[in-house]
Amino acid sequence: MNIIETANYEEMSRKAADYLVKLVSAKKDAVLGLATGSTPHGLYSEMVEDHKMNGTSYEQIRTVNLDEYIGLPSTDPNSYHTFMRKRLFDWIDIKSENTHIPNGQAGSLEKECLRYEQMIENLGGIDLQVLGIGHNGHIGFNEPGTSFNSSTHVVELAESTKKANSRFFASLDEVPTQAITMGIKTIMKSKEILLLVSGSSKAETLQKLIHGPFTEDFPASILQRHPNVTIIADQDALSLLRINK
Ligand SMILES: N[C@@H]1[C@@H](O)[C@H](O)[C@@H](COP(=O)(O)O)O[C@@H]1O
């Protein structure tokens, strides 16, 4: 794993944006795997800023998102569809037909999972997958105990995840209990992974990811086995690790 330490959240976001912009400029039709949560907010703002200032084009870029809540209409302010539009897609020249997010309102969720997995394959796979991480080591919405062999599937959200994400909703009761997420195997098929981690509350999680046991009880430990992972993390997140600068 390649670890890049930054002074703070802002620098992490800038470095991550530089990373993505470099890829997008080199491969005009790249397939980007995108993430939600608070961690990539700064990354998306920086990409929008770069698009405005430097004209980086996303005209032929395709995107696939990790996950979506089940039961929220795509127009709901808390859906990941809305998140992506508001934070990124509305501000760059990407074509909406090239952006893909699981449909959490599909009539048959089982068929939707199969469709999503096949769609990623039809695009030729993911060139670079951006990831955040949950405190319990979840990636996408793959909670502890998820099979490392999983493809896109429906999950029951862990109580701790619902609590953590309730900050975006009016109350805990409004947080959906289920989601569709790319599986661990789906994520691992990405040619490259860029993991962003910020803040002291994630220090223990990051320490476990790097030095902890390889176990389905800690989904992110799978990244120890991916051949091309870059972690951009701030000092606070790296505070329990000693790395050579
Ligand atoms: N499904 C998302 C994950 O993709 C994200 O990594 C995680 C951490 O979120 P945050 O970045 O807000 O800490 O939250 C959600 O559960």
What value does the mean pLDDT take over residues 61-81?
A: 97
Q: Which two tokens stand for residue 53?
A: 């200032």
Q: What is the pLDDT of residue 76?
A: 95
DSSP assigned state of 227: S
* Residue 103, in any domain of the structure: yes
Q: What is the pLDDT of residue 243?
A: 55
What value does the mean pLDDT take over residues 222-238?
A: 98
Residue type, 123: L
- Is the predicted pLDDT of residue 13 greater than 70, yes or no? yes
Segments forming the whole domain that contains residue 66: 2-177+217-234
φ, ψ of residue 42 to 5 degrees: the values are -65, -40
What value does the mean pLDDT take over residues 50-66?
A: 98
User: Choosing from 138, 142, 165, 236, which is the catalytic residue?
Assistant: 138
* Residue 196, in any domain of the structure: no
The domain tally of the chain equals: 1
* Residue 185, in any domain of the structure: no
**Cβ < 6 A, ligand 1 pocket:** 35-39, 66-67, 132-134, 140-141, 161, 165
Q: What is the pLDDT of residue 185?
A: 98
Q: Give the pLDDT confidence of 165-189 residue by residue, as tens digits.
A: 999 999 999 999 999 999 999 999 9
Alpha helices for the chain (secondary structure H): 9-26, 41-54, 80-87, 109-122, 159-165, 184-188, 203-211
| Pocket perturbation via mutation, ligand 1, pick of 69, 141, 167, 205 by most ligand atoms within 8 A of CB | 141
Ligand 1 atom, smallest distance to 141 CA: 1
**Ligand 1 geometric centre to CA of 36 (Å):** 6
* Residue 88, in any domain of the structure: yes
- Is the predicted pLDDT of residue 74 greater than 90, yes or no? yes
Q: What is the pLDDT of residue 145?
A: 96
Residue pair 131/139 in contact (Cβ under 8 Å)? The answer is yes
Tell me the pTM: 0.96
Q: What is the ipTM of this complex?
A: 0.96
How far apart are alpha carbons 20 and 43 in whole angstroms? Answer: 9
What value does the mean pLDDT take over residues 17-44?
A: 98
Nearest CA to ligand 1 atom 8: 134
State the chain's mean pLDDT as an integer: 96
* Residue 205, in any domain of the structure: no
Is 143 marked active-site? yes
Confidence of residue 245 (pLDDT cuts 50, 70, 90): very low
Is 97 marked active-site? no
Is 136 marked active-site? yes
* Residue 208, in any domain of the structure: no
Is 226 marked active-site? no
Q: Give the pLDDT confidence of 187-209 residue by residue, as tens digits.
A: 999 999 999 999 999 999 999 99
Q: Which two tokens stand for residue 24?
A: 């997008």
**Ligand 1 geometric centre to CA of 168 (Å):** 12
Q: What is the pLDDT of residue 169?
A: 93
Confidence of residue 242 (pLDDT cuts 50, 70, 90): low
CATH of the domain at 21: 3.40.50.1360
Residue pair 46/14 in contact (Cβ under 8 Å)? The answer is yes
* Residue 86, in any domain of the structure: yes
How far apart are alpha carbons 58 and 80 in whole angstroms? Answer: 20
Confidence of residue 244 (pLDDT cuts 50, 70, 90): very low
Percent of the chain surpassing pLDDT 70: 98
* Residue 210, in any domain of the structure: no
What value does the mean pLDDT take over residues 221-238?
A: 98
